Structure 1
Amino acid sequence: MLGSLGLDPLAQAVYSAMLADPTVGVRELTARLGTDEAQIRETLDRLVELALLRPSRERSGTLYPVSLVAGMQLLVRRQEAELAAGRDAVAAGRAAVADREPAERLIGLDSVHAELEQLMAGATVEVLSMVPGSAIPSASLEGAKDADEDVARRIRSRVLYHASVRKDPHTVAYGRWLAERGTEIRVSPAVTRRLLIVDGRTAVVPIEPEQPSAGALCVRKPGLVDQLIALFELIWTDAVPLGAPTKEETAAELSATDRHLLRLLADGLTDDAAGKRLGISARTVRRIMADLMDRLGAESRFEAGVQAARRGWL
């Protein structure tokens, strides 16, 4: 166990011996472990550096070991710090590359998948995904399951599918499985290109949209990434949750009265005036508008008018 935390076999043996008997000395360790004194002293220095051995307050000039639990915690924290430093170094290197090149070319599926795994594992804020196509192969869904679940558990994740996936039971089931774990899923007919954006800093797009095996471009230029985020947000705003009716379907469900009322209010008529035109009371006008606002997800009539216009209801 200690070996997996960075201790070599001799360091493990010395530390274990001192845990068993804190009074053991260099000569006894040398004899017991069958090695020379210089190696024992180097190992003791290493254990002191790792804070697994500390100067004794009771016996001047000697060392005592921290407990096994405390020692493991120290080693774990040290490894975590080293990993964090490594990630920072990689990020700095990538930033330096991004300053020189607008995009990094990832040639071949293996290179793309390796980069995606690293990006997803290191994500700390949000992952945005656009997935085109009417159906996603079951093997692809299964292969992405662990990474998708890990991201959904740690940070915010939003996915846009093409509206046609609603006809594919496997993709719909996978989308619902993701939604149960916190991922936000929406569908839109505007999803025609594959896109992944991680933490608002890195975007991955295919080199050839119709040929995924050709590879991908990894973009880190803030200006380019911001444009791709804006595209995602624009499509996201008009998309509908997976399982909900599309806006076209919802619009088709509007009654003639609903449509006429929306147009009258958009023209600036009051509730009383609109009601007289339609032959209904102002109270009925307010009830219909409250229902339409709820269907539009609007908090004000002005917002309802904007949303109705965007959806083609007017």
Structure 2
Amino acid sequence: MANEKLSEALRLLGIGPGAVRVYRSLLAEGPAPLSAVGDAAGVTGPELAEAYRELVDSGLASTADEEREVVAPVPPAAGLEILGRRRAAELDSSRITVGSAFDSFRRHRLAGYHDPLVEVVTGEAIGLRMRQAWASAREQIRQFDSPPYFPLEGATDDALATLARGVTQRVVYSRASLEHPGQLENAIEPCVEAGEQARVLPSVPVKLVVIDDAYALVALSIKETDVYNTMLVVQPCGLLSALVALFEQAWQSALPLHGRTARPAALLPADRRLLRLLAAGADDEVIARELGVSRRTLFRRVQVLMARLGATSRFQMALQAQRSGWL
């Protein structure tokens, strides 16, 4: 289990599968000759050289004895900081690229646009098209979710029905999604409990739904959704590929919201909701409103949960809750 967690953590930081195997072997065998480490990891030749070079570039390994070609792991603090910043920079770059593509598209081509690769849907037709999208999914749905929300009756039921059909659903929620009145309790939590894979970021770059790899539904921008009430349907093309890449970058950086995981039986649904809101960065006023309690009661609940988790701060409590499967 520890090796699986280590492999997943390294993967989230952008380390390739070959380098992950070599690093795990290096932790078990090192300091040791690189060839011996590669043999233990089942990685040899050019693949081993490339994997080791990746670990060195990431600040996770170095040469301990050049004459004997002995290598060893190094303290990871500096390397992890570099990797974290690199992932953040990649995500920012992707956001800028896609944002620039949309700005250019809107300035030069939206008016009178008739290319079959992009369809403009407005008004009440948006709701119908969204319901059709959920019904047409066969393998997976990838989604960025953030207010404002289009008034679509039965949207949660559509999502639950899609999950019941065995369609994988991965959603990155913005913090504003969890803070939106009733959204966490009435829409997000039912889908997470039904098997949706949910993660949270402070914000998402665009309102987006990708159906399989067939097409995407995109709002012009989050701020303008309630003003223009316009959605784009993007067919397979370079723009769709960019949107998929943007989602995958954000997914790697987001904090998981767990559903079907082992939790202490005494954890109340309200406490779980409290932890999710805290992990998303919601302030006390928003959390108290969502739970329907006073700020004094909220403070008492937070203190009790901190004591149960052995945490000395709210940030530490959120981390401990995630590790314990409470989120």
Same fold flag (TM > 0.5) = no
Compare relative contact order (CA 8 Å, sep 6+) and give the higher one, 1 or 2: 2
Q: Structure 1 length as normaliser, TM-score?
A: 0.43
Q: TM-score when scaled to structure 2?
A: 0.42
**Structure with greater helix percent:** 1
